[in-house]
Amino acid sequence: MPTRSIEVNATQSLQFGTFVVTGGAGGSVLVGWDGSRTATGSIAVLGGAPYAQPAIFEVKLLQGRNVHLDFSPTSTLTGSNGGSLTLNIGPTEKGINGAYFPTNNNRDFTTLLRVGGTLDIPGAAIPGTYTGTFFITFNQE
- What is the structure's pLDDT at 14? 96
> Where is pLDDT greater, at 103 or 17?
17
- What is the structure's pLDDT at 84? 95
Residue ranges and CATH numbers for the domains of the chain are 7-140 (2.60.40)
Specify the 3-state DSSP secondary structure of 141: coil
Nearby residues of 66 by Cβ (< 8 Å), 6 or more positions away: 100, 101, 102, 103, 140, 141
Taking the C-alpha atoms of residue 21 and residue 45, their distance in angstroms, rounded to an integer, is 9
Query: Model's pTM, two decimal places?
Result: 0.87
Taking the C-alpha atoms of residue 42 and residue 39, their distance in angstroms, rounded to an integer, is 8
34: pLDDT strictly greater than 90: yes
Mean pLDDT of the chain: 89
Nearby residues of 70 by Cβ (< 8 Å), 6 or more positions away: 97, 98, 136, 137, 139
